[in-house]
Amino acid sequence: MNQHIYQLEYKIFFRNKTVLTGILILFISGLAGLYFGKNFIDRQQEVIVKAEKLQAENTARNVKYFGKELGLMLYHTKFSMANMPRNWAAFSNGQRDINPYLIGVTTLGLEGQLYDTDLNNPSTLLLGNMDLAFVFIFIFPLIIIAFSYNLLSGEQESGIWGLLRSQSAVPLKILWRKFLVRMSTVYLTALVLIAAAIVYLRLAADLRLLAVIVVLSLYLLFWFALSFWVISRGKSSSVNAVTLISCWVVLNILAPALVNVWLTRKYPVPEALETVVMQREGYHEKWDMDKRVALTSFYRHYPQFKKYPFPEELAFSWYWYFAMQQNGDDQAAPGARSMKQKLAQRNDFTTAVALILPGIQTQLTLNGIAGSDLQQHLDFQQAIRNYHEQLRLYFYPAIFQEQPVKSIDWSQFKLKRYNENGTGAIWPGVLSLAVLISLLSGAAIYNFGKKIY
């Protein structure tokens, strides 16, 4: 009996052309999100492959033209590190469009090179990239609203609800069946898109996939719970539609914009430019000072290099030049630490606020799983710092001893790939969504019991 009732509910539901249109919109936008998300990551991977080839070619060219002096060779030679994208990054591009994923540095001052990135159209960055995560977070809730806003009010306004209510001992079951039909339709569409993502993006069937399914299922369930609560108030269809659309605008557009404005004012980050300026000033001012000033500061940072003799009689030496570069980094270090701290504070605050903003929470969780969040970029920057320090410690003794360029095995210095396997914090997002769903569902059940039945 129940099976036949559900079959009838599905027939009634799909008789509405709006339903088919909504499902078609989800499929088209979902497939488009998959294509554009993968295309964006594919372009980054192509750039990384080209960068690796160009680094080898440029190093060989530098050996040919600057092979007489090791210091001059290192002045021109760049060593690159790439933040390798995971397959999941195509699902959720996150901040990979605004943060540099490929950084090439010389053994000179690091702070003047660390923040170099490609030039991009600000309007394009403002709009962001379309990926499947965007479709789930922004478009799926609109379709849920379109399917659910008149679930009860439409029956009441047509006069059918009174008849249904009089013929059922538990009228809420009728409403619940209609709700389940809509939920199953949306979830089936979501599963088809996730299955397409698994095949198209070559995603592994591991814990990351399970985490994504759980998080997205809870996010969609939040919007169903919100719709359930709104229609439980017994208002008209127009009021329900306006209320739900207003919630979507506030939660997915207005609140994130306000959080961003507040973060910009609370934790401004002028230190990126200031750090570059301080690094250059700390280096350039040493040209007009006694050489011993730069060397004293350099020995304070690297006391192990005091054993190498410095040719003070020379007007210029690479020993002194690289010491000046290090002085610039030392002078810029407080600004670099301050910027790193503020970015971490921004990340922590956003994570805390996201506990009551499901859209932001879901986006942050997906970015963490995909390795495209702010924390992953900060970790990549630290990896660059560590790699740059390794290069300095390797080449400084060779420079100070004036070793020939050909004594170095340059083939060992290939493009470095940074692979980070963390998934971010998943449980806070899961728990916050579960709490919000429980509160809305409880409020809706209370309303149905008190106001309508």
| Sheet containing strand 79-83, strands side by side | 102-105, 79-83, 416-418
Helix (H, G, I), strand (E, B) or coil at 416: strand
Task: Please name every residue paired with 103 in a beta bridge, in sequence order, or none if there are none.
Answer: 81
Name the E strands within 294-348.
Answer: none
List the chain pLDDT tens, one digit each, 453 residues: 566 777 877 787 888 888 999 999 999 999 999 999 999 999 999 999 999 999 999 999 988 888 788 888 988 889 999 999 999 999 999 888 888 889 888 888 777 777 766 555 555 555 567 899 999 999 999 999 999 888 877 666 666 666 666 566 566 777 888 889 999 999 999 999 999 999 999 999 889 999 999 999 999 999 999 999 999 888 888 999 999 999 999 999 999 889 888 888 887 765 555 666 665 665 556 666 677 777 778 888 888 888 877 777 766 778 888 888 887 777 777 777 777 788 888 888 888 888 889 999 999 999 999 988 888 888 898 899 999 999 989 998 888 888 888 888 888 989 999 988 877 778 888 899 999 999 999 998 888 777 654
Cβ–Cβ under 8 Å, residues 412 and 196? no
Q: How far apart are CA 340 and CA 381, in angstroms?
A: 10
Report in angstroms the alpha-carbon separations of 16 from 10, 22, 147: 10, 10, 10
Q: How far apart are CA 100 and CA 118, in angstroms?
A: 7
Q: How far apart are CA 426 and CA 214, in angstroms?
A: 10
Cβ–Cβ under 8 Å, residues 231 and 240? yes
Give residues with Cβ within 8 angstroms of 56, minimum separation 6: 414
CA neighbor of 234 nearest in space, from 150, 118, 345, 353: 150
Buried b (16+ CB within 10 A) or exposed e, 437-453: beebbeebeebbeeebe
Q: How far apart are CA 261 and CA 269, in angstroms?
A: 13
Question: What is the distance of C-alpha 271 from the center of its chain?
Answer: 22
Buried b (16+ CB within 10 A) or exposed e, 13-47: eeeeeebeebbebbeebbbebbebbbebbeebeee
Which residues span the domain enclosing 338?
Answer: 1-453
Question: How many domains does one find in the chain?
Answer: 1
